[in-house]
Every structure is written in structure tokens, then in C-alpha cells.
Amino acid sequence: MKPLVHDPDNRLWLLSTPSSGYVLRLAPDDSPRHVAWGPRLTLEQALSVSVPSGGDSSFDGVIDEEYPAEGPARFGPPSLQVRFDGGARGVQWHYLGQESDGGRLSLRFRDDHYPLEITLHYRVHDDSDVIERWATLHNTGADHPIEVLRCDAAAWTAPPRDGYRLSHVTGGWSAESQLERVPLARAETVLTSRRGHTSHQANPWVMLDAGDATEEHGEVWGAALAWSGSWRIAVHHDPDGRASWTGGAGHEGISWTLRPGQRHHTPVFAGLYTDGGFGAASRQWHAYQAGHVLPQAGELRPVTYNSWEATGFDVDEDNQRRLAAVAADLGVELFVMDDGWFGGRRDASAGLGDWTPNAARFPRGLGPLAAEVRRLGMRFGLWVEPEMVNPDSDLYRAHPDWVLHMPHRTRTTMRHQLVLNFARDDVADWAYKWLDELVGQHDIEMLKWDMNRAFTEPGWPQRGADGERLWIDHITNVYAIIDRLRASHAGLRIETCAGGGGRVDLGILARTDQAWISDNTDAVDRIAIQRGYGQLYPARTMAAWVTDSPNPHTGREVPLAFRFHVAMSGVLGLGGDLLRWSEPDLSASRAMIATYKDIRPVVQHGELYRLGDDAVQYQRGDRVVVLVWRLTSRPPHQPVAVRLAGLEPGARYRDEDTGRVHHGHTLRTHGLVPPLPPGDYSSALVRLRRV
């Protein structure tokens, strides 16, 4: 079946992915209507799907909209809200035509009266069930601006079912990505960030199931937004059991103008249907990002050392050299110096914005340290926070108008800092220039791009009311700067960070290589954080450090092996004060890092199977890696067998450490007893190879 089939007589389109089908049509009034999203369909089947008659109740209104716009008899959460000159709102759809090319479809409409064109875009890939959607607005008039109050990327609809559940993540700083799986209220449920970044409190994806999906079985519908600023996903669950959700950039209450001649492209809101349960949904999302989102997905991420938890703001050439020497000896491949290397930075209160090396700490600049790191055989990386400024900085003293601010309003500081208005081209130019110079001068191989506070007083006084576009333009300029930096520095890789996991989404991951998913490095807390993260995002992006015990955030004491085994399920790094680690710990770390390098292709590029709450399995080709964590030992204090997934039932698998051979069938049905040592916080790693 071709990926796109158009039936002009019935004004219907059928999109097909390897195992899903998506159908839409035009109603007699030209408005686009949703027909079906689920298993693959033939055209004949697509034409036979029953569609709501619309009824003639004076209260219900249209319920099957493909892209709900305000207008006649539409009462659900709108994807599009516009106001024209003279006060008219909404859209009266007039179909202009379609364009299709391979897996790409664009449906063009205009308003019946006002100068607005709307294009709905769809893209399918032959190796993924993820369907990408976005929209374009175009003010085709010559005279009048159009006020845009909301312009979502897409609305998705799942068929009527009893008992929908909503899966999503909640949390906060140091507790990101906490998975929630709750009955979907018969109401509107809004997931949102009003912070100017993706947020720690919510992440722009949803998954719905009819209460019957498990890890490996059942239908799951979901969608994820490729946007790193404020966002909103509004889920609507109607009394007939139908669930739909619209999502896009920006939160409610902001508006901006589309000037005559101007076009606006929304970010992508990608959707996925699978009947393989939450596990298959995650694996599909991971494969989609590897194939179509991440810039260098085929690379293996290096083992990193980061200075933050060792030296805090007190970095200097001497302590970084000493840490680098130990890190290199352990097998670390990338040394990243964190905050504190620039301007008058001595703590969080000063220096942000002044991106030249602190002369007292680095009297000879960064060159000697970078050279020493390379002499030790590692790559060199650096922490930056380009979008921020401390009031106590030369930059702010010179450009107090460069920050987000409003007339007659206090400039609220958070972590002693203000947000630079990256929507301004002069600010964006300044940022690109110093970053380009810094990266070029030292051949920097990794930037940890941080963003440590939310937007407040989000104004741009010279722009007046239209300054609210900064919610969007700030982010598009951040994207443009990163894209330019990558284009001019082929060896540069970037880690996204916003006080830990405050900026992770498909938009930033299209231009970064990995994410710092939480400032919380406590291995026990990490299990839940990583579990929530992995629902959508792949292990190859999940930076995870082994740090000191007791943990500096939580005070919890956890054995070294457990800390390693938790971090080894992502992109392994070290973040502790290695100068104080004991000789036995250093030698155990050296061995664990070597083991990680052996399993790294399986973890970073394999398929993830979650085995209960405290074990994960990665599989790639003929290799399988299982990591098991046991928090508390309980009577009878014997390890319990863990059933593996995804293996070939007829194949045999040899344990690479013990030589023992297992049958795939019994590993799936009876499981594997993991070699957990006695006691609390015990953990195990098992490597299997198909024979």
C-alpha cells in the first residue's frame, strides 16, 4: 500500500505507516474532519468507517474536527484562534487543494472571507509508525494584521472507548519525569508549561490507552510536541468516550500578530498508534528519534566526566587538571568543565553574561587545560548558559534593556539571574558570536547548554503588545544559534540542560545529542526519573552520572555497583569528587567503565524492554543486556527470577560472564535469576549472547 492514498470523489485521504492507518476527509462545508486512527486499513475499509452524523441537537456541535478552529457550532478546545480586523474570529473553511510527495501531504485552505491561508501538513516514513503533523498560517492580505491567540500544530483523535487512561509525566526540579497513569477525566485536561521552557513539571507528550494496555500488549495512542518553550496540550474526553487532544507552542492568554504577507510554521506534533503496549510505544518513539530527529544518532556517546558535583563554582586550572588525570585513568573519554570558569563567577550571584575565562582561575586562559585534557586522551567540553545574565555582570551594566522586562514592573530574579531576550536579533547575534569564537578557539567538542530559570515579566517594551511573540521567537532563535554552531563546527556536540531536565523535547533533541535529565544524581531516585524519561526518549540521549556517596542532594548512601548499574542504563558519566575516592572504588570504577564500553552499543543503540519496575533489558542483534536493581532485600532474601522479553523463543543465549547457556523460551516464560548480592541496594548486570 502506498503511504498516501487520495480518493478525490469522496474527498478522503488515507495515510499508511508500516502498521497503522490514519484517515481524514472533507465535510460538505470544506472543513477537515477526522475519520480514523488505528490499525492499517485498505481504502475500501477506510471508506466504510462510520462517521458521526453530526446530529441536529442545538447543543452538541461538531465533534470530529481534524483541526478545530473557532467558528460555528464548535465548542471543544480549539487548535486555532484568530481575530481579524473588525473583530471577526474563527475560520470558515474553503478548500484550495492538496499537494503530496512521497510520504508528505499538504492540504491547503483559506478563509471564505478574510486573507488567511491555513495549510495542514502530514508526513509518514516507511520505517516508523510515527506520523508527523504541523500547520502553516499565511496572512495573504496587504493591509491588515491578523491577531493569533492560539495556533496549534495538530489535533489528534482516538476512537470512542470505555475507560481511557492518560499517561504523562509530572514532577519538579530534581524530580523530573515521574510517570502518571490515571483515568482520563470526562472533562478537559490541560498539560502545559507557562515558563518559557519545556519545564520540569510536565513534558509535552501524552499517551492514551483504553485501560487495557500493559507493557507488552494493547492499543496505545500518543503524541509528542517538538517544542522547547511554553506549550499546551489540551485533552478533551467526551461523554461518548471519544478522546482528542490539541497541542502546540505557547500557553493560553498570549497573543501575537501575523503581519500582512507573513507566514507562521508551527512545530511538529508527532503522533503514534501501536497495538504492542507501552513497551512497543516507547521502542517506536526511540526508533523514530534515532531515525528522524537526532542529529548524530549513529554515534556512540562518550563516557563523560563533569566537574559540577566535585568543584561546584570553584573551578580552577589546578583542580580541573587533577580531576582530569584521575578521570582519564579510569577510562573517561570526554571531560566537561561545568559552571564557574568565566567572568566574575564565584557563586550563582555574579558573572553570567561575561563569557571570558576568569583571569584569577585561568590566568593563561582555557588553552592549557584543554590541551592537558587532550594530552590525557579525552575530548574537552564546557558548560554555558547563553540565555541568562546576572544583574551583577558587565553585560547587564552595558545592556540593561536586553532582558525580558516590562515597564513599571520589578524585574524578578531567580537564582540571581534575568533572562536575556533572545527574540531580539542583536542579542541573538551577540550570543552566536561569542559561542562561535569560544568553540572555535578551543575546538570544543561538547557544550552543556544550560537554562536555569523560567521567564517572568516576559515583555519587550519597544514592541508593545506584539512583544508577546517573544515566547516563540526566543526559542526559534535559540534553535537557529545551535543549528548555526553545529553547521560551522562539525565536531561540536551539545547536551541540553535546564537545571537538570527542564528542557527535553523533540524540538531540542533535533539539535542536541544528549540531555542532562535531572540534577538529582541519587541512584535510587534516578530509577523513577529514568523510567519516566524512557517512556518517550531513548537511552542514547539519557546522560547519567555516578557521583559520590552519601549523595550530595539526598544524603543517601548507596554502593558503588548500584550507582554504576543505574547509570549504565543510559549514557554513562562520572560526576563525583574523584580526588577523594578510595583506591578500591577507583579500581572498581575502572572495571565498570570498561564493562560499560562493552555493553554500550547494546544500551545506547538497542531496544529497551522494561521488566517490571526495577529491571531493564536492552537488545541489539544477538546481544542482550539486563540490569536489575533491588532496593530492599526481603525474606526469604533470595533473588527472584526476572522474565526477559523480546528474545527468540527457539534460540539459546549464553551468559557471557558465566558461560551458562539458557533457552530463549525459558528466559521468557520462567525468567532468569539475577546474580544479586545479598543486602539492600543490590544490583546485577547480565550479558547474554545468542549462540
Burial 479-499 (b: 16+ CB within 10 A, else e): bebbeebbeebeebbbbbbbb
Catalytic residue flag (residue 519) = yes
Number of C-beta neighbours around residue 432 at 10 A: 18
Q: Is the CB of 497 or the CB of 611 nearer to ligand GLA?
A: 497
Residue type for 320, please? Q
C-alpha to C-alpha distance for 78 and 76, rounded to whole angstroms: 6
Catalytic residue flag (residue 450) = yes
C-alpha to C-alpha distance for 582 and 167, rounded to whole angstroms: 43
Cβ distance 466 to 256 under 8 Å?
yes
Q: What are phi and psi of 397, to 5 degrees?
A: -60, -35
Residue type for 87, please? G
Give the residue closest to ligand GLA by C-beta: 339
Q: Is the CB of 15 or the CB of 327 nearer to ligand GLA?
A: 327
Grid cell locating 239: 461523554
Q: Is the CB of 328 or the CB of 543 nearer to ligand GLA?
A: 543
C-alpha to C-alpha distance for 320 and 317, rounded to whole angstroms: 5
Q: Is the CB of 207 or the CB of 497 nearer to ligand GLA?
A: 497
Q: Is the CB of 22 or the CB of 516 nearer to ligand GLA?
A: 516
Nearest-approach distance from CB 292 to ligand GLA, in angstroms: 28
Nearest-approach distance from CB 175 to ligand GLA, in angstroms: 13
C-alpha to C-alpha distance for 266 and 252, rounded to whole angstroms: 16
Nearest-approach distance from CB 551 to ligand GLA, in angstroms: 14
Instruction: Give, rounded to a whole angstrom, the gap between the first and last alpha carbons of the chain.
Output: 37
Q: Is the CB of 139 or the CB of 496 nearer to ligand GLA?
A: 496
C-alpha to C-alpha distance for 604 and 601, rounded to whole angstroms: 5
Cβ distance 359 to 366 under 8 Å?
no
3-class DSSP assignment, residue 385 = coil
C-alpha to C-alpha distance for 328 and 333, rounded to whole angstroms: 7
Cβ distance 151 to 120 under 8 Å?
no
- Residues in contact with ligand GLA by CB under 6 A are 308, 338-339, 383, 450, 452, 497, 499-500, 516, 519
Nearest-approach distance from CB 453 to ligand GLA, in angstroms: 10
Nearest-approach distance from CB 358 to ligand GLA, in angstroms: 14
C-alpha to C-alpha distance for 34 and 88, rounded to whole angstroms: 26
Q: Is the CB of 500 or the CB of 674 nearer to ligand GLA?
A: 500
Catalytic residue among 209, 473, 513, 519: 519
Q: What are phi and psi of 190, to 5 degrees?
A: -110, 125
Nearest-approach distance from CB 124 to ligand GLA, in angstroms: 37
C-alpha to C-alpha distance for 279 and 285, rounded to whole angstroms: 10
3-class DSSP assignment, residue 539 = helix
Q: Is the CB of 341 or the CB of 396 nearer to ligand GLA?
A: 341
Catalytic residue among 129, 152, 209, 450: 450
Please write down the long-range contacts of 141-144, taking CB distance under 8 Å and 24 or more positions apart. 141/114, 141/115, 141/260, 142/115, 142/260, 142/261, 143/85, 143/260, 144/84, 144/85, 144/115, 144/260
Compute the radius of gyration of the chain from its Cα atoms.
26
Catalytic residue positions? 450, 519
